Structure 1
Amino acid sequence: MGSRRATRRAGRPALAHGRATGRRRNRSGPARPGAAGMTRAAVGARSRVRQGQPFPLGATWDGMGVNFALYSRHATKVELCLFDARGREVERIALPEYTDEVWHGYLPDARPGMRYGYRVHGPYAPDAGHRFNPHKLVLDPYAKQLVGDIKWAPHLFGYTIGHKDADLSMDRRDSAPYMPRCVVVDPAYTWGRDRRPCTPWDRSVIYEGHVRGLSMQLPSVPDALRGRFSAVHADELVDHLRYLGVTALELLPVHAHADDQYLVERGLSNYWGYNTLGFFAPHPGFLSGTDIAEFKQMVAGLHHAGLEVILDVVYNHTAEGNELGPTLSFKGIDNASYYRLADDRRYYINDTGTGNTFDLTNAGALRMVMDSLRYWVQDMHVDGFRFDLATILGRERAGFDPSSSFLDAVRQDPVLSQVKLIAEPWDIGPGGYQLGRFPPGWSEWNDRFRDTMRAFWRGDEGQLSDFATRLMGSADLFSHLGRRPSASVNFVTAHDGFTLHDLVSYNDKHNNANGEDGQDGSDNNLSWNHGAEGPTDDPDVRALRQRQVRNLLASLIFSQGTPMLLAGDEFGHGQNGNNNAYCQDNPLTWLDWERAQNAEGRSLSAFVRRLLALRRRYPQLRRSRFLQARDAHAEEGVHWYRADGQPMTVDDWNDPQARSLMLELPAALDAGQTSRQTSLLLLINAGATEQRFMPPALDAGRWKIMISSAAAATEIGDDGSVVLVDRALMLLARRHAAEG
């Protein structure tokens, strides 16, 4: 997990036959008249190909016809293949022109709805990095829509499986009957009064969820819409997000993706979707019909509710696997241009753990990624991206470079530089851990925050100093080049790993349902079952778990930086101890909304709502710049105290047994804030016994308890002291006398 990248990919079998899509039914619906439904004769009659233009890439409808353009530096010939609604190939048309490494042609009578693919000719020379095979239908990398399923068969592979020379052989069977189809789309859509929320970073709170997981068990959603884009902006779900006070919904991959063959054979799927097949097309299984406008309607609905939409995107690898993987798109279009190859060019560099690595040092591959990102911002109106294994995107031939081609391209881009950009700053390649090294304009998933918070509240020794640093925004990692605390995306849990409920309920992972003999998923979870493995009726264990969940949530939301919540953590969703549920598309991962409505679920959701309300109310909890984290008397800073009210010393910070402290956040000095005269005091007791705190005296008046993770009522004594039970947290507030 985290910096070691023992994640969803850990322990999986080698890509014997690569990766491909799963078994969803064709949801393409009826073809438009004169397009995909045309007869063979009709296609031939109107296929008067003209030279067309090399830009834009992809299939572009201009109101009169469709321009087709495909980048391939090393191809010798490109054929456009047209299909009818029944999936039959009805015509092949050689693209007539080749300009600046782009093959192109124009069909004057083609229309939206036309289904197509390509066959690309060139050398089949794996030792030289080339894997052209015109017997294999390949998908347009710029296709805006895909229909149909991949049907696993040996025909999908460019080589003959079982041949003595393995991938050096060439398979001549036609793969078209087993492949999805690309679809020409009409991009027209009336956005009306859609406005981006443009939530400032210091007010942003991210909620990470999955299209299917969010809505498959949402009571108010009709069965036909569950798990689809339409359900994501259902009133019930939107009302819940607004009730909590989150500002952005981050969706796990929505790009068209493939299910691994070995998962399909086990009756499973690549549920998370980190196996991209097309970087412009929404995943067909997330559409309730055949119109990609459904995604746009979702975005508009969330924007109307004041919620931003952030997409988790996977530009580091594709679904084609290694040299033994299938030929689905890039591999057959121009393998040597799109992928990073080893010195022996038959083989792939595998910095992703998935078989291949996309090569953003190549201009054509870089252009495709940039075009894809701009498409989702400009045409689909999304508000930002979280980049999976983002170190790869910044890796040049000599290693990671904050001024790499991709990172510089994004930084100077007038569109992309203005949206939220979040990096997962690690991969499994050399020098893969790059937390804090991304350039200005980027925020980063902070796994140091995650691990420290888990270890501290578990009671591990020697965590107090690091806990304080993470609480104040991880200045040691991000305070340079004008970066702000918001550059640290703080999280305790994410899709990858235990849910918060499971983090406090299991010492060990329980991943048997994945069919990998428990070898997948991380073993370094920093979890604690608090006395019983899994479900228990022991009231003491249950009470302690509930308190620890609140401690972790409060530590997350009261920390400087950008908080990210995992969907379902706010009401206790669990996965039976599975910390790598990447292949579980079933009630294990679908949010249990009934649990959200029981007493415990409602109580925890109300607690999260209160935490986020306090964060909004008090600017000290969301500073837009770094402060001196440990200067006990720094002007405009923070003050650290021992439980007895004395300032923390170096020895106190270095005491491996120390597990309690007080953090004073003086009255906010931000101009225009209504709470500018209110001081806050955060009491922390991660010890195994109760702790008496003596809050510092300021001026006339008393501290007031704002929120506590302890279930039992706590009062401030006559002497101003507070007794906090073991493993608990409390926030106090105090107005200055000048306020009256």
Structure 2
Amino acid sequence: PSYATAESRARGAQAVVDEFRGMVSLLHQAGIEVILDVVYNHTCEGGDAGPSLSWRGLDSDMYYRHTTSRPIQTIDVTGTGNTMNMDRPKTIQMVLDSLRYWVRDMGVDGFRFDLAATLGRFSTGFSPMHPLLIAMATDDILTHTKLIAEPWDVGPGGWQTGNFPVPFSEWNDHYRGALRNFWLADVRAQASGHIVSGPNDLATRLSGSQDVFEHGLGRLRGPRASINFVTAHDGFTLADLTAYDRKHNKDNLENNRDGSDDNRSWNHGLEGTLASGATHPDAATPYAILANMPIARLRARSQRNILATMFVSSGTPMLTGGDEFGRTQNGNNNAYCQDSPISWVDWDLAEGQQAQIDAVSWLIALRKAHPVLRPDSFATGHPYGGDSLPDLSWYTAQGTRMPDYGWTDSRHRTFQMLRSGVKWGDRDALIIINANLDDAQVTLPEGHDLDWLIAYSTVWETPADGGVSSSLDPNELSIEVEHVMPRTTLTIEALSVTILLSDIAFQPEH
């Protein structure tokens, strides 16, 4: 009820319900679906010493898991003191009744299930064939909604990414870790003179995490099963990932013990937020990009690199609200308990924040206009139909096929991904990634021997720097942007992503 207007709260519970339903209707009219984040794995009582506020007051033995030893205690696999018992039919019925209510009566379009491994766990362990999961998938009402699992909890066998059945999609923690490592932790290590990994893990995530999702009861879902995210409501914001090497949670009054220590972030040389003109503190650094570019600009570049990678990855992108303009929580990575400026959204945007909104808007427009940027099936590495190119292929900076040894070689952190558009009747897409600290000379692959158009570069502080804007139809790129001949050699700046589209869609001869 606290989310409702004061007028609705004053009129009572039914007015609050009506306001919510009206909100959903207005969002639907604007083409926006509503997905509700739901917590069915525990309730608000806490551990054994907690108050009876929910199902404990009706039938604690039935609704909650308990130990079989004496003294009997509640089991906690969610970190909140109690865990719902999904072995019991009545508990399953309660969850299903609640879900149906939110769809049928309140109009929502789907659900994100908090700590969903709990919902698929018998007393003997997790199973994708758990009656609750199968019931959601087959229910006449729920089967038409979007079902998204947070596929882990802190219990035994609690990490289940990739193991949920059709039709669930899942938060992909492999993706989150890979992008944070590649664009932040690895670059920080490079700047300190360390040898880092090659592009293998990132390439696997770019192509849809087939290694995670193409097996078991969920193997028919395709890449959309992977919810590709780098930040969420838990943890650092995107801006804070690039501004803090460690969490700063003192305001949560737990002596900075709460929140994750596995952030894989990079402060770019200075801890915390700073003025836009601040330079890198180490003037003796051998890497020009670190010595010459102000830290604020370099942080913004890193954010754009992550965003561009996410919007060209096969799978379903998830953007945390506020990351589109660089919202900060001042280094707090566990701000759920904050009703303060730490967690509030400040809509008084600076110029740089508006530039990031423009970049995200353009990336979304490109992805929406070009299905080649959002493949709905896993790549095979072979030509489709009468095509002369594989559906997906990888190239070195020299424009040659990526050798097997190259995937683990840090020298190949400058590489190219080519997607043929034939399967989707679309243009071809070429993604050039330079995750090294020096500029690189990159020779474009031959491809279909078509001219290329530079659709986006993270070097641009705003898309307007490249001659595009959010008002331009992404299908009309040839009017505005730079043309590049096939096999041309381009200078690709250090730490950048470049997205190219062929000037026309290739038509194979059958």
TM-score, scaled relative to structure 2: 0.85
Decide whether the 8 Å contact of 1:636 with 1:669 is kept in 2: no
Alpha carbons of structure 1 residues 700 and 449: separation in structure 2 relative to 1, 3 Å: closer
Decide whether the 8 Å contact of 2:176 with 2:228 is kept in 1: yes
Cα separation, 2, equivalents of 1:587 and 1:639: 46
Q: Shift of residue 582 of structure 1? A: 1.1
Q: Does 1:652 align with 2:406?
A: yes
Amino acid at match of 1:606: D
Q: Does 1:295 align with 2:20?
A: yes
Q: Does 1:683 align with 2:424?
A: no
What's the secondary structure of 2:245's corresponding residue?
Answer: coil
What's the secondary structure of 2:305's corresponding residue?
Answer: helix
Question: Which residue, out of 295, 303, 309, partners 1:555?
Answer: 309
Cα separation, 1, equivalents of 2:224 and 2:118: 23
Question: Which residue, out of 77, 84, 89, partners 1:363?
Answer: 89
Question: Which residue, out of 488, 492, 509, partners 1:720?
Answer: 488
Cα separation, 1, equivalents of 2:248 and 2:134: 42
What's the secondary structure of 1:360's corresponding residue?
Answer: coil
Question: Which residue, out of 31, 38, 42, partners 1:317?
Answer: 42
Deviations 1:185-210 (A, max 9, x none): xxxxxxxxxxxxxxxxxxxxxxxxxx
Alpha carbons of structure 1 residues 701 and 334: separation in structure 2 relative to 1, 3 Å: closer
Mapping 1:682-721, distance limit 5 Å: 682-698=431-447, 701-711=450-460, 720-721=488-489
Cα separation, 1, equivalents of 2:230 and 2:12: 31
Q: Shift of residue 711 of structure 1? A: 3.0
Match of 1:420 in 2: 146
Deviations 1:9-61 (A, max 9, x none): xxxxxxxxxxxxxxxxxx8xxxxxxxxxxxxxxxxxxxxxxxxxxxxxxxxxx
Match of 1:499 in 2: 237
Question: In angstroms, what is the RMSD of aligned CA positions?
Answer: 2.5
Q: Does 1:470 align with 2:238?
A: no
What's the secondary structure of 2:34's corresponding residue?
Answer: strand
Amino acid at match of 2:121: R
Cα separation, 2, equivalents of 1:518 and 1:287: 39
Deviations 1:303-359 (A, max 9, x none): 111100000000000001111111123112111010000013630111111100001
Question: Which residue, out of 363, 378, 388, partners 1:611?
Answer: 363
Question: Which residue, out of 72, 78, 81, partners 1:352?
Answer: 78
Cα separation, 2, equivalents of 1:556 and 1:228: 31
Decide whether the 8 Å contact of 2:382 with 2:390 is kept in 1: no
Cα separation, 2, equivalents of 1:287 and 1:570: 36
Alpha carbons of structure 1 residues 318 and 576: separation in structure 2 relative to 1, 3 Å: same
What's the secondary structure of 1:687's corresponding residue?
Answer: coil
Q: Shift of residue 659 of structure 1? A: 1.2
What's the secondary structure of 2:376's corresponding residue?
Answer: coil
Q: Which runs of 5+ in 1 are unaligned?
A: 1-26, 28-226, 232-281, 671-675
Q: Shift of residue 698 of structure 1? A: 3.8
Alpha carbons of structure 1 residues 508 and 677: separation in structure 2 relative to 1, 3 Å: closer
More strand by share: 1
Alpha carbons of structure 1 residues 467 and 285: separation in structure 2 relative to 1, 3 Å: farther
Question: Which residue, out of 526, 533, 540, partners 2:264?
Answer: 526
Q: Shift of residue 697 of structure 1? A: 2.5
Q: Shift of residue 717 of structure 1? A: 7.4
Decide whether the 8 Å contact of 1:229 with 1:286 is kept in 2: no
Q: Shift of residue 411 of structure 1? A: 1.7
Cα separation, 2, equivalents of 1:347 and 1:689: 58
Question: Which residue, out of 147, 162, 167, partners 1:441?
Answer: 167
Cα separation, 2, equivalents of 1:516 and 1:631: 56
Alpha carbons of structure 1 residues 510 and 636: separation in structure 2 relative to 1, 3 Å: same
Which structure exhibits the higher relative contact order, with contacts defined as CA atoms closer than 8 Å and separated by 6 or more residues?
A: 1
Alpha carbons of structure 1 residues 308 and 426: separation in structure 2 relative to 1, 3 Å: same
Deviations 1:200-243 (A, max 9, x none): xxxxxxxxxxxxxxxxxxxxxxxxxxx73469xxxxxxxxxxxx
Alpha carbons of structure 1 residues 462 and 622: separation in structure 2 relative to 1, 3 Å: same
Cα separation, 2, equivalents of 1:587 and 1:367: 40
Cα separation, 1, equivalents of 2:447 and 2:336: 52
Cα separation, 1, equivalents of 2:448 and 2:167: 41
Cα separation, 1, equivalents of 2:26 and 2:459: 38
Deviates further, 632-641 or 481-490: 632-641
Match of 2:176 in 1: 450
More helix by share: 2
* Bigger Cα Rg: 1
Match of 1:485 in 2: 223
Mapping 1:133-144, distance limit 5 Å: none
Decide whether the 8 Å contact of 2:206 with 2:309 is kept in 1: yes
What's the secondary structure of 1:669's corresponding residue?
Answer: helix
What's the secondary structure of 1:566's corresponding residue?
Answer: coil
Amino acid at match of 2:434: N
Aligned length: 456
Alpha carbons of structure 1 residues 692 and 349: separation in structure 2 relative to 1, 3 Å: same
Match of 2:289 in 1: none
Q: Does 1:662 align with 2:427?
A: no
Q: Shift of residue 657 of structure 1? A: 4.4
Q: Shift of residue 285 of structure 1? A: 11
Decide whether the 8 Å contact of 1:631 with 1:639 is kept in 2: no
Identity of aligned residues (%): 44
